[in-house]
A and B are shown apart, each in its own frame.
Chain A
Amino acid sequence: MTTRAAVPVVRAEPGTMEAALRAQRAAGRKLLIPYLMGGMTGDWGQALAAVVAAGADAVEVGIPFSDPMMDGPVIQEAALRSLQRGTVPDQVLDDIGRAEVTVPVAVMTYYNIVFRAGHRRMAHSMVAAGVSAAIIPDLSLEELSPWATEADAAGVETVLLVAPSSPEERVERICARARGFVYAVARMGVTGERADVGEEARRVVERVRRHTDMPVCVGVGVSTPEQAAEVCEVADGVVVGSALVRRLLAGAGPEGAAEFVGSLRRALD
């Protein structure tokens, strides 16, 4: 392999995200991580606080990108609306910093946003906003090192994805380099609600478990309380994005968001 791929695997103490999720898991609780797109509505900050109050163990906040390659129509629409409202990355981070969020926050965005800001500056801006972790889905293991070095130094945990298509040796390397939690992609495809998520998700989680005892959360396609519960028979938790964002796009507001997240919470408890 290349020198670029040789990311040092030095395990520091678990960061805020990993420690919090491990503690909840140890207490016998399934982890619920709702996703919102930063800046998608004028009251998205209140929606963020509301989903936390409704039982989230962590939240994932998107910084919109013009070309979201990994996202389906719902998240694309949310990104577009956010950009049309004039959202810039610093503002999403400011809003996170100001919101009353009592659980760890992961920022999800695409690599060009991070690269354009500068690795070190973005990592420090995240820390200043109280963000614990970053998810950058188009940053492959092969290209990870320049960002991950700065993120590690600043104390930002870089969550990595494992896909159904990942061969065993990649699963091993990804688990060794992941921070915060391991994001198990439930099925091949982009984000969006799906009728079935069970079997493929189960296999991915089982493969991840062979290489790490970090929390494993399943995302991409999980959209109903029933699916969340099914996935959590094997996984430690779930990330629910499109199903929540669709409701917010339809005008559900912070209350509607809280109601949906509450239903997910009850299904997991």
Chain B
Amino acid sequence: MTDPMSLMAEPGADGRFGDFGGRFVPESLMPACLDLEQAFKEAWDDPAFHEELNGLLRDYGGRPTPVTECHRLSARLGVRVLLKREDLAHTGSHKLNNVVGQALLTRRMGKRRIIAETGAGQHGVAAATAAALFGLECTVFMGEVDTKRQELNVFRMELLGAEVRPVLSGSRTLKDAVNEAMREWVATVEHTHYCLGSVMGPHPFPYMVRQLQRVVGEEARAQCGEILAGADPDVVVACIGGGSNAAGTFAGFVDTRARLVGVEAAGGAAITNGIPGVLHGMYSRLLQDEAGQIEEAESISAGLDYPGLGPEHAHLAAIGRAEYTMANDAEVLEAFQLLSHTEGIIPALESAHAVAWVARVAGTDVLPKGSTVLITLSGRGDKDVAQVREILGRGGQS
């Protein structure tokens, strides 16, 4: 069990956060999971690893990303809104933090190739970028539906030297891309590292990816302290698909009095509508039917089209340390435009979920006037502009 006094600490050797997590993978992959756990542990304890990682995130990735105070949006909503600007990181999202770390690990483990799953394409682009930087081979699995929604990102990945394999099985979205990446990993594990993009999958991925993303929360905490004269925000909000930007953000604030809020897509709300089960190597909350068949998530944002979420979020929900809510497609489109109009920042549709929740509850009992809110803006919206244009051009929601 995770000690409630040491929230978001290292999980036990069994990879559990409370009841959630674990390692539900075929025997063929167990040795790779155990090796990765060991390699990550050694790297994380090695000052040289951190020195190289931090240097790359600074000089190549553009960190630290700023925290921007949103004056016009704050005036509009009656709450003080701060944005952690992951949209300004290289490749346009927080995903780079994770892939640079995993690329370093890939090299440490003596492997020459990475594979990745992607939904919106942000993790795929980040993985392809890191592969180019480190001279690794890279194959990205992307649901066929998503390759069409995010054509430009497919081209980006190819431009970066990666091979993009459209996935034709199941719902042809993120869930199926993970299945296909897992299958490829079994066959190539000897020389290939699976660079998973979120805080999900078998141990050690949920823990490792959270650690690699905690830079978001740690930076934001210090930056908020400067802006708020040493105080913490009242509420810290992030969107959740698998939950990596939220996990990284929460890790920086879990020991403060700030309320932590995760916003899922209404069509993929694994905390609100899911029940415990096992998928993709982890025990977490999942959208599923009575027989245990996984149901398909559906959302305007490819990156949140996932029927589960990371096990640590299921645990934080179970113990009540974080709250989980959702935003629907219509609210998200509104928020997408609201932030663009009021602040000159076009958010990723994923990140717009977090903005949408704040816009909805600002000034109510849930988020009283005068509150201070930090939103992690996980990515920029360039990739979504064509899709939103099409939807708005049709005069309705998708």
Q: Give Cα A53 to B70, complex, Å.
A: 74
The one of A1, A2, A117, A189 that contacts B186, using a Cβ cutoff of 8 Å: A189
Contact assessment for B30 and A140 in the assembled complex, using a CB-CB cutoff below 8 Å? yes
| A152-194 to B contact mask, C-beta < 8 Å, 1/0 | 0000000011111111001000100000000001001110000
Chain B contacts for A263, CB-based, 8 A: none
Contact assessment for A116 and B292 in the assembled complex, using a CB-CB cutoff below 8 Å? yes
Within 8 A of B (CB), among A97-155: 110-117, 137-143
The one of B170, B176, B190, B277 that contacts A112, using a Cβ cutoff of 8 Å: B277
Contact assessment for A165 and B31 in the assembled complex, using a CB-CB cutoff below 8 Å? yes
Nearest neighbor of B15 in chain A, beta-carbon distance: A142
Contact assessment for A142 and B179 in the assembled complex, using a CB-CB cutoff below 8 Å? no
Known: A65-B292, A69-B179. A111 touches B27 (CB 8 A): no
Q: Give Cα A259 to B279, complex, Å.
A: 37
Chain B contacts for A165, CB-based, 8 A: 27-32, 189-190
Chain B contacts for A117, CB-based, 8 A: 291-292
The one of B13, B28, B286, B291 that contacts A2, using a Cβ cutoff of 8 Å: B13
If over half of A's interface residues share one DSSP class (helix, strand or loop), that class is named, otherwise mixed; here it is: loop
Q: Give Cα A166 to B35, complex, Å.
A: 12
Q: For the complex formed, measure the closest distance between the CB of A198 and the CB atoms of chain B, giving whole angstroms.
A: 17
Q: Is B110 an interface residue (CB 8 A)?
A: no
Q: Is B84 an interface residue (CB 8 A)?
A: no
Q: Is B338 an interface residue (CB 8 A)?
A: no
Known: A65-B293, A112-B277, A190-B186. A141 touches B28 (CB 8 A): no
Interface size on A, residues (CB 8 A): 47
Q: Give Cα A140 to B200, complex, Å.
A: 17
Q: Is B294 an interface residue (CB 8 A)?
A: yes
Q: Give Cα A188 to B29, complex, Å.
A: 9
Contact assessment for B12 and A2 in the assembled complex, using a CB-CB cutoff below 8 Å? yes
The one of B30, B170, B278, B293 that contacts A142, using a Cβ cutoff of 8 Å: B30
Contact assessment for A116 and B277 in the assembled complex, using a CB-CB cutoff below 8 Å? yes
Q: For the complex formed, measure the closest distance between the CB of B322 and the CB atoms of chain A, giving whole angstroms.
A: 24
Q: For the complex formed, measure the closest distance between the CB of A38 and the CB atoms of chain B, giving whole angstroms.
A: 12
Contact assessment for B170 and A2 in the assembled complex, using a CB-CB cutoff below 8 Å? no
Contact assessment for B190 and A67 in the assembled complex, using a CB-CB cutoff below 8 Å? no
Chain B contacts for A113, CB-based, 8 A: 291-292
Q: Is B315 an interface residue (CB 8 A)?
A: no
The one of B14, B179, B187 that contacts A67, using a Cβ cutoff of 8 Å: B179
Known: A2-B14, A67-B170, A188-B187. A112 touches B288 (CB 8 A): yes
Chain A contacts for B32, CB-based, 8 A: 165
Chain A contacts for B290, CB-based, 8 A: 116
Closest 9 CB pairs of A and B: A116-B292, A189-B187, A163-B28, A66-B293, A2-B14, A112-B292, A113-B292, A66-B294, A163-B27
With A137-B26, A167-B31, A188-B188 given, name 11 new contacts (CB 8 A).
A67-B280, A69-B25, A72-B183, A89-B292, A112-B286, A163-B28, A165-B31, A165-B32, A170-B30, A188-B28, A190-B183
18 residue pairs of the A-B complex, CB under 8 angstroms, read A1-B13, A2-B13, A66-B170, A67-B279, A69-B183, A80-B169, A83-B293, A89-B292, A112-B294, A115-B277, A115-B292, A137-B27, A141-B27, A143-B24, A165-B29, A188-B186, A188-B188, A189-B187
